[in-house]
Structure 1
Amino acid sequence: MRHVEGKARPETARSARDDEHIRGQAPYLVVGIDGSESSKAALAFALEEADARGASVRALSVRQPPAVMTQGEKTVLQEQRRMLFETTADGTQKHPGVVLTHELPLGQPVEELARASEHALALVVGRSTTGTHADTRLRSVADGLLHRAHCPVIVVPAV
């Protein structure tokens, strides 16, 4: 507490993340992309936030390791890369001032997104409510990130 004119006032809390950005690290948001409508909504939200905050966006599409490596793995990687670039294309046109990077890490989605969130302002992911198997997986990723991310997690529903 500090005293101002005889009154006690709480100190403003600052996190280590605030100090890192103050020391010169450019602020950024992380967004998880899987090509679903909810991940497109998450991207739109992340780009709006980044634009408003003068931050960049790291778009991650996590590739889970295959049980067995095959010749077709190169094709899978190319398709995932194409999906990532196509999914983000409209957003970059709407927000030309936002620097957007594309990443295709190999691993488990929760772990890779949490790792990428370490110095982020926020981690943005989509959530759908149609009840399909893919939607259940999205919810489990969002739930896992709530426990493992190093920054605030924003879960955006499909529009």
Structure 2
Amino acid sequence: MSRPVVVGVDGSAGSAQAVAVAVHEARLRGCGLEVVHAFFWPAVHVPLGPWQPGSPEEMLRETARRLVAEAVEHARAVAPDVEVSGAVVAGGPPTVLQDRSRTAELVVVGSRGLGGFAELLLGATAVQLAAHAACPVMVVRGRLESTASTTASASTPTGTPTGTGTSTTTGTGGSTGPVLLGVDGSPAGAAAVEFAFTEAALRGTGIVALHAWTPWSVPPSPPPDPSAPYAAGPGELAEGERRLLAEATVDCRARHPDVPVEQAPVRGGVREALIEASAGAGLVVVGARGRGGFTGLFLGSVSQAVLHHAHCPVVVVRGSRARS
């Protein structure tokens, strides 16, 4: 049996958008959609005996059932050909959805739910899932209009890609533009590259593979001339980073020859470059941690920044899938 796409709902406007996007992703993959509401009991005594009709506990549970039923009905209306199921699960949203991620193809959530503070750009559930889920996590944020410009300004930093020629409409629940892939050349980032190419092939769109670098972010390598350990010839760093970008995507380009790819090496800050380029993208795909991350961190600074500030939905892909 194929793994389903799982979407978390809580009745917020953000979760309604997430349902529309999630059922579109399920249709692309030819799999089912599971609508999940994590039912977190209030901090009061809840009797363990049979439920009493009309009791506050039963009223709360019925509200949760109705919320899921409405989300399931909405998903079926958007994509009648997709098998949609619903579940009310006791527990906190991050814990419940993280558990569901072990058997899911993709988990989709809104950027903020009903429990978020207005001033927060991203809810705690989205952050925790992106850091700990066993499968890729899509956080639905930014614009989701049926049309969008695919030309991003290149004022800062130098070399930010335009995405010209790779725009397409992804259909109900999606947004327009190519898949923007953040490439860092790390082994952990290989899973993000694979996901981005597969997603672009499913959507029938192209990829903008962006690799941003500065002289300070490039890992040191042994100098060819020991007498000048800090000397680099003109353009050597830039050429090396262009080569890293090409090598990081070469295998996936061979497996997906019909996916057009724009290589975009950018000299500048990676967070700023990805956020700016996301204005012309339909989806941003990044790894959970890059080559500059600390081993103990579950979510790197780049992926966190993109989750908070991107102009379109973001998928965070961890390097390995945990098995239950």
Q: Provide the alpha-carbon RMSD of the alignment.
A: 3.0
> What SS class does the counterpart of residue 97 from structure 1 fall into?
coil
Percent of aligned pairs with the same residue?
A: 33
* 1:36-72 residue CA offsets vs partner (Å, 9 max, x unmatched): 12221111101000000101000000012559xx744
Q: Relative contact order (C-alpha < 8 Å, sep 6+): which is higher?
A: 1
Instruction: Report the structure number with the largest CA radius of gyration.
Output: 2
**Which of residues 87, 93, 96 in structure 1 aligns to 2:248?**
87
SS at match of 1:116: helix
Superposed CA deviations along residues 97-124 of structure 1, whole A, max 9, x for unmatched, are 1001101112111110011110211100
CA contact (8 A) 2:289 2:298 kept: no
- Residue 43 (1) aligns with residue 193 (2): yes
Superposition pairs of residues 72-111 of structure 1, within 5 angstroms? 72=233, 74-111=235-272
**Secondary structure, in 3 states, of the residue corresponding to 1:133?**
coil
Q: Does 1:139 align with 2:267?
A: no
1:47-86 aligned within 5 A: 47-64=197-214, 66=216, 71-72=232-233, 74-86=235-247
Query: Given the alignment, which residue of 184, 200, 216 partners 1:34?
Result: 184
Counterpart secondary structure, 1:125: strand
* Equivalent-residue separation in structure 2 for 1:51 and 1:147 (angstroms): 26
Secondary structure of the 2:200 match is helix
TM-score by structure 2 length?
Answer: 0.39
Deviation at 1:76, TM superposition (A): 1.1
Deviant stretches of 4+, over 6 Å: none
Contact 2:289-2:303 within 8 A present in 1 as well:
no
The match for 2:147 is 19
Give the TM-score normalised by structure 1. Answer: 0.77
1:149, distance to aligned residue in structure 2 (A): 0.6
Cα-to-partner distance string for 1:10-41 (whole Å, 9 max, x where unaligned):
9x9xx5642237xx943311001110122211
Distance 1:89 1:157 in 2: 20
Paired residue secondary structure (1:154): strand
Q: Distance in 1 between matches of 2:295 and 2:184?
A: 10
Equivalent residue pairs, number: 142
Which 5+ residue runs of structure 1 have no aligned equivalent? 1-9
**3-state SS in 2 of match to 1:62:** strand
1:86 is displaced (CA, Å) by 0.8
Report the Cα distance in structure 2 between the residues aligned to 1:137 and 1:109, rounded to whole angstroms.
18
Q: Going by fraction, where is helix more abundant, 1 or 2?
A: 1
